[in-house]
């Protein structure tokens, strides 16, 4: 793909964020005027940090309801582990894992997202009530994914990805990680738009931990607004998936260098959530819903107050800010 299909496709896909206070809105998904909280629900025996905890359908459904009760706006249901080194599972097994969970949570009125690289799984999940397709491969793993999403007309997360988990860390080589991730995401967004996906339904994700070393993750986190614009032009909503990832555990390592265990990095995840939300992230994908739901509210209030102060001091700011939370 060489052309800029996104530009050809027309107007900006989301509300501009140039004043720093508006929050992107994605059609068909919750729009509370702040960064959204996506609760992670891995129906797997071997995921990164919660593998095995919710492998049985009943446990997974209960966990989904709990995440929503604790403040998650979206529940992201995945049946295939993407931890570094993981092997793939058959599609039939992926569907067996997530099918009943998506069906029950959607029937309970929750906004469900499906975390899959397979078009057939995305199709089954959307038929069962999922409202968002979260594809960590950005359409690279399954040639049928983009056309399915285009036909379904559902929002689509395009994550930065350089290959399947089994060998992805061998691909963690960058001269300028922000520029390369941005450029590679832009190619995937162009492919998605060329396949017929409405740009207004595209969310981008820098793919923290996917073919990334800790220093790559930190660089990407500090430059979210640049990533959002993909190097120029309108902003896309950005999803940030930092929760419990190894780079946090390494930051918090004990004196002898032992990384902090996954669950012990939840407080640091909350700190990252607040920083990402202040920087304008559209959504954070997290394991611990309640504290992160508080953090996005703090960030929204911070952004509103900061915009108000800019206005008072004569700087440009919008008359109303959807980012403003309750008084």
Of 83 and 164, the one with the shorter C-beta distance to ligand PMM is 83
Q: Looking at 5-13, 47-55, 252-260, 288-296, which segment touches ligand PMM (CB under 6 A)?
A: 47-55
- Please provide the DSSP assignment of 197-211 as one string: --GGGEEEE--TTSS
103 in Cβ contact with 63 (< 8 Å): no
CA–CA gap between residue 308 and residue 159 (Å, rounded): 33
State yes or no: residue 54 binds ligand PMM (CB under 6 A): no
Would you say the C-alpha torsion 253, 254, 255, 258 has a positive or negative sign?
Answer: negative
Pick from 131, 182, 188, 244: which binds ligand PMM (CB under 6 A)? 244
Q: Looking at 44-52, 102-110, 218-226, 272-280, which segment touches ligand PMM (CB under 6 A)?
A: 44-52
| Site pattern 75..94 for ligand PMM (x: CB under 6 A) | -------xx-----------
76 in Cβ contact with 286 (< 8 Å): no
By beta carbon distance, the residue nearest ligand PMM is 241
State yes or no: residue 205 binds ligand PMM (CB under 6 A): yes
Is 303 marked active-site? Answer: no
Catalytic one among 131, 245, 260, 303?
245
State yes or no: residue 42 binds ligand PMM (CB under 6 A): yes
216 in Cβ contact with 242 (< 8 Å): no
State yes or no: residue 114 binds ligand PMM (CB under 6 A): no
CA–CA gap between residue 237 and residue 230 (Å, rounded): 11
Of 146 and 157, the one with the shorter C-beta distance to ligand PMM is 157
Binding residues among 119-158 for ligand PMM as defined by CB under 6 A: 134, 136, 157
CA distances from 2 to 5, 45, 166, 192, 227 (A): 9, 40, 29, 13, 19
CA–CA gap between residue 253 and residue 266 (Å, rounded): 14
CA–CA gap between residue 156 and residue 285 (Å, rounded): 15
CB of 262 to ligand PMM, least distance (A): 8
CA–CA gap between residue 101 and residue 39 (Å, rounded): 14
Is 212 marked active-site? Answer: no
Binding site for ligand PMM (CB under 6 A): 40, 42, 47-49, 82-83, 115, 134, 136, 157, 159, 205, 207-208, 239, 241, 244, 285
């Amino acid at each position: 793909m060489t052309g800029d299909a996104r530009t050809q496709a027309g107007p900006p896909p989301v509300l501009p964020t140039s004043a720093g206070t508006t929050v992107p809105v994605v059609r068909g998904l919750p729009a509370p005027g702040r960064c959204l909280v996506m609760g992670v629900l891995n129906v797997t025996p071997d995921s990164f940090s919660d593998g095995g905890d919710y492998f049985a359908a009943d446990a997974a459904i209960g966990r989904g309801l709990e995440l929503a009760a604790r403040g998650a706006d979206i529940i992201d249901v995945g049946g295939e582990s993407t931890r570094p080194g993981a092997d793939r599972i058959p599609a039939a097994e992926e569907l067996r894992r997530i099918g009943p969970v998506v069906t029950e949570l959607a029937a309970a009125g929750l906004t469900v997202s499906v975390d899959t690289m397979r078009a057939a799984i995305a199709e089954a999940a959307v038929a069962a009530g999922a409202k968002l397709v979260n594809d960590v491969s950005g359409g690279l793993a399954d040639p049928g994914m983009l056309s399915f999403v285009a036909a379904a007309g559902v929002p689509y997360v395009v994550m930065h990805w350089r290959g399947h988990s089994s060998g992805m860390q061998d691909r963690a080589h960058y001269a300028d990680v922000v520029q390369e991730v941005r450029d590679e995401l832009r190619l995937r967004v162009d492919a998605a738009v060329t396949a017929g996906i409405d740009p207004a339904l595209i969310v981008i994700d820098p793919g923290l931990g996917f073919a990334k070393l800790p220093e790559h993750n930190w660089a990407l986190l500090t430059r979210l607004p640049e990533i959002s614009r993909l190097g120029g032009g309108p902003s896309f909503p950005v999803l940030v998936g930092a929760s419990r990832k190894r780079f946090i555990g390494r930051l918090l390592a004990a004196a002898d260098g032992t990384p902090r265990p996954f669950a012990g990095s939840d407080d640091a995840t909350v700190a990252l959530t607040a920083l990402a939300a202040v920087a304008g992230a559209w959504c954070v994908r997290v394991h611990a819903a309640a504290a992160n739901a508080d953090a996005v509210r703090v960030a929204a209030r911070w952004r509103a107050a900061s915009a108000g102060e800019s206005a008072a001091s004569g700087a440009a700011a919008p008359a109303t800010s959807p980012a403003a939370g309750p008084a």
